[in-house]
Structure 1
Amino acid sequence: MALILTEEQEMLRDAADGFLTENAPVSALRELRDSKNPDGFSRSLWQEMAAMGWAGIIVSEAYGGSDFGYVGAGVLAEQMGRNLTASPFFSTSVLGATAVQRYGTAKQKDEHLASISDGSTLFALAVDEGPRHRPEHIEFSATSSGNGYILSGSKTFIADGNVADKLIIAARTSGEVDDLSGITLFLVNADAAEIERTYTPMVDSRNAANITVDNLEVTGADILGELDSGYAALEGILSAGRAVLSAELSGSSQQAFSITTNYLKEREQFGQKIGSFQGLQHRAAHLATEIEMTKSAVLKSLQLLDDDFESSFATCSMAKAKSGATAQLSTQEAIQMHGGVGVTDEYDVGLYFKRVHIAQQMFGDAGFHIDRLAKRSGY
């Protein structure tokens, strides 16, 4: 498949660009941050996004979604990355929708997909248990009890975990801590009395939370996917998240580069525009080529998710590694080329730097995915 958007996808991109530029620009993130909004996003804006079909972008039309696929989700995420738009799109419309639509039972789909599509229910994925992304390392326990299970343990760095209505928790039902088998996903109510949520302020002014679960009783009906074989479903959910997060990182890279090149054309030093200095031109040219390669890698991963979901996981890892490295380069160069003022709050490039620092670590940074791909190839 050609690495270009279809006409419909281009129209979605243009519509998203116009809407977000007007309604959710960087200044909106500043306002959310400065007002210490407890949600970390505008719920009224989220309802507008849902009304436009964004909340159900990958959900089938039978459940009220727009069924625009992962490329469509990536198109929206890229524009959100350009504007640093804060919303539960990633946690709910990508992770939650993927989990329920691909791995949920008919009953779970009936109960949740429509409410995802209309923006009324927020989801969060609880997988990591330490400071680094290790999805196979699951100590969180699900102990068999009668016809159900007792959940106990802790999870960290849960995107939108403090505002979610539903939690998807990866728990160990059998085996040892690092076994791929013996992992099961559970879909539970986030407001259960046995769940303690601790809001964790992030440097990028986004939502995250840690949770501690103490003897939460669940039934077999709460299992998402297959008992003891949940790692395959978890890998699918994470891969979708990685690809869409890569699109956001790509958008942030592009916007940081655009801001920087405009600055190079305006800033004067020694009586000349600094953009005329050959050293800065070489650095800008290098970054431009990295951004273009990243855009291709990201689009390929999204296309594969739509066309052959189960075979797309390695490509999603590749896209996450490339987009994370490029986004870090783009924002670091933005800071460097702006000089000392680049790190001040007056300039937006510092906000892009902070968001990229968090997003590139979520679900594995470049080092994690390079190592993962190398092991997959037998090294």
Structure 2
Amino acid sequence: MDFNLSEERQMLQDGLRRMLVDKVDTKAIARGDTAWSAETWQALTEMGVIGALFTEEQGGFGGAGFDLMVVFEEMGRAGAPEPLLETLLAGRLIAELGSATQIEQLDEVIAGEVQMAFAHSEPGSRYDLERVATNAARDGDDWVLTGRKSVVTNGGEADQIVLSARVSGAVSDREGLALFLVPKGTEGLEIRDYPLTGGGRGAELAMEEMRLPGDALLGEAGDALPAIERTVARGSAAQCAEALGLMERIRDLTVTYLQQRTQFGQPLIKFQALAFRMADVLIEIEQARSAVINLCGHLDADPTTRELHVSAAKQLVGATAKLVVEESIQMHGGIGITQEYDLAHFARRLTMVEHRFGDALWHLGRFARLRAA
């Protein structure tokens, strides 16, 4: 099997890496000066990076697993918090389930003119995609929604939110899930915005008899879970690729520090204890890369195979992320946790990334259940 990038993906990777080096200010992100940079977002759209997340039929030019890997690995390497992942999640759901009128809006999404968010997680739901308590009830031609959503990344800045609810009212049943396209400023929607560790912003959403027109529904009421699972699998692949980029940046920072910092008249990298620990980190990162490649190559497989690879990759990447953060900070010493040093930002962001869509422990249990089924 040839693991080399195609010419088009190599060009995308090279151009994206050069642009992000110039645009991303990790110091400003660490200080909390901004959630993400409008200038960087504009540069991403001008490069057409958002189009790499969608297929040609959806208005993009990529959409495959390895397209996601190229884009999000570079986003991770730069420590960039721009809401590309939220655009991927919400946009793919609209592309798959939306009406002709709703799908027309994808052109504006791909052009970067419309900010998106995906509101699915709820207080107490943990990582179970089918566990949704937000209720959607018919009232004539309208829908009335009541419930709460938690940790909605980019929720406070999104122009449109793709929001899940249960038509039947059951909490754990796989049936009855629906998706709605909710415009910003909808009456009955309360948004509490807050900063996230590692950059970006999250939000808590509260819906109290929020009324939506009938055409806000995406697809058929009650049939949204398979589409959510397919989309979250892609989001998990993107998140794993971002974690891989973050780990490689942390590795580079640590190796450079060990080469430049001296003790007893020689660089720290010359001490066997540190060299062996660094070698272990390098091996684990390469194993994580193999897992991400496997996942990106199976995103269009049958659901059981796809979800096995999702949990396998998330578990291995999560465990490796923990190792990389702990080892890098310990080998740096006190400087590794100072806000002025880049490592602190990348370590915080990697820790946050590892917990989205399920942490390592949760996916280990899920992998065991899927294998036993």
Deviations 1:16-43 (A, max 9, x none): 111111222xxx1322453633xx1122
Amino acid aligned to 1:101: A
Which residue is 2:167 aligned to? 173
**1:1-379 map, 5 Å:** 2-24=2-24, 28-34=25-31, 36-37=33-34, 40-61=35-56, 64-92=59-87, 94-110=88-104, 112-130=105-123, 132-174=126-168, 176-305=170-299, 307-308=300-301, 310=303, 312-378=306-372
Q: Is the 8 A contact 1:201 1:207 kept in 2?
A: yes
Q: 1:36 is matched by which residue type in structure 2?
A: D
SS at match of 1:138: coil
1:253 is displaced (CA, Å) by 0.5
Query: Shift of residue 364 of structure 1?
Result: 0.7
Residue aligned with 2:227, SS = helix
TM-superposed CA distance for 1:175, in Å, is 5.0
Question: Residue 53 of structure 1 contacts residue 66 of structure 1 at CA under 8 Å; is this kept in 2?
Answer: no
Quickly say closer, same or farther: Cα 1:64–1:238, change in 2 above 3 A. Answer: closer
Helix, strand or coil at the partner of 1:20: helix
Q: How many corresponding residue pairs?
A: 371
Shift of 1:176: 2.2
Q: Which runs of 5+ in 1 are unaligned?
A: none
- State the alpha-carbon separation in 1 of the partners of residues 302 and 156 from structure 2: 30
CA drift of 1:263 comes to 1.0
- The answer to whether the 8 A contact 1:58-1:97 is kept is no
Q: For the aligned residues, what is the CA RMSD? A: 1.9
| CA separation of 1:158 and 1:350: change in aligned 2, threshold 3 A | same
Q: Where in structure 2 are there 5+ consecutive unaligned residues?
A: none
Q: Using the alignment, how far apart are the partners of 1:75 and 1:60 within structure 2?
A: 15
Amino acid at match of 1:46: W
State how far apart, in whole Å, the 1-side matches of 2:239 and 2:106 are. Answer: 21
In structure 2, what residue type is equivalent to 1:89? L
Q: Assess if the C-alpha contact under 8 Å between 2:147 and 2:206 holds in 1.
A: yes
Name the CA shift for 1:309/1:377 in 2 (closer, same or farther; >3 Å).
Answer: closer
- C-alpha displacement of 1:52: 1.1
Amino acid at match of 1:371: G
Amino acid of the structure 2 residue aligned with 1:51: E
1:123-178, CA deviations, whole angstroms, 9 ceiling, x for partnerless residues? 11111112633322211111122233211111111111110111111111115211
CA distance, structure 2, for counterparts of residue 272 and residue 217 of structure 1 = 68
> Distance between the aligned counterparts of 1:245 and 1:177, measured in 2?
27
In the TM superposition, what is the alpha-carbon distance from 1:227 to its structure 2 partner? 1.5
Distance 1:204 1:32, change over 3 A: closer
Q: What's the CA shift for 1:357?
A: 1.4
Q: SS of 1:210's equivalent?
A: strand
Q: Which residue identity lines up with residue 11 of structure 1 in the other structure?
A: M
CA distance in 2, matches of 1:62, 1:98: 12
Contact preservation (8 Å) 1:250, 1:323: yes
Q: Which amino acid aligns with 2:71?
A: L
| TM-score, scaled to structure 1 | 0.92
Alignment partners' CA distance in 2, 1:125 and 1:223: 14
Amino acid at match of 1:30: K
C-alpha distance in 1, partners of 2:111/2:223? 31
- What percent of counterpart residues are identical? 32
TM-fit CA distance, 1:44: 2.8
Indicate if the aligned counterparts of 2:123 and 2:148 stay in contact, CA closer than 8 A: no
Q: TM-score scaled by structure 2? A: 0.93
Compared with structure 1, are the counterparts of its residues 63 and 8 closer, same or farther at alpha carbon in structure 2 (3 Å cutoff)?
A: same
Q: Is the 8 A contact 1:47 1:118 kept in 2?
A: no
Cα distance, 1:230 vs. partner? Answer: 1.4
Which sits farther off after the overlay, 254-263 or 99-108?
99-108
Contact 2:58 2:95 in 1 (8 A): no
C-alpha separation between the residues in 2 aligned to 1:286 and 1:34? 32
Find the aligned partners of 2:107 and 2:23 in 1 and give their Cα distance. Answer: 25
- Distance in 2 of aligned mates of 1:146 and 1:113: 29
Offset, 1:216: 1.4
Secondary structure in 1 matching 2:72: helix
The letter of the residue matching 2:252 is: S
Given that 2:26 and 2:342 are in contact with CA atoms closer than 8 Å, whether structure 1 keeps it comes out as no
